[in-house]
Amino acid sequence: MSETATDRRGRRGGGRDARRQARATSAATSLPYITRNLEPFDILSDETAEIIENNAETILEE
């Protein structure tokens, strides 16, 4: 046999160990979270929220 034939029979590069090494060295990159520029605001007034809560209690009692 020639030397090239014996080289082909040797251990191949890559495979599971190469993938494991690539995963270990690569850092997970993630996009930054979205930052909210708006100030929070109340959709319902306190009075409206209280009316909804009272109506919900009435329905649950029935």
How much is the pLDDT for 52? 97
Mean pLDDT of the chain: 81
The average pLDDT across 20-26 equals 80
pLDDT band at 32 (very low <50, low <70, confident <90, very high): confident
Name the one residue in this structure whose structure tokens are 């590069």. 13
Cα first-last separation, the chain: 92
Instruction: State what percent of residues in the chain have pLDDT above 90.
Output: 27
The average pLDDT across 33-62 equals 92
CA distance 11 to 18: 13
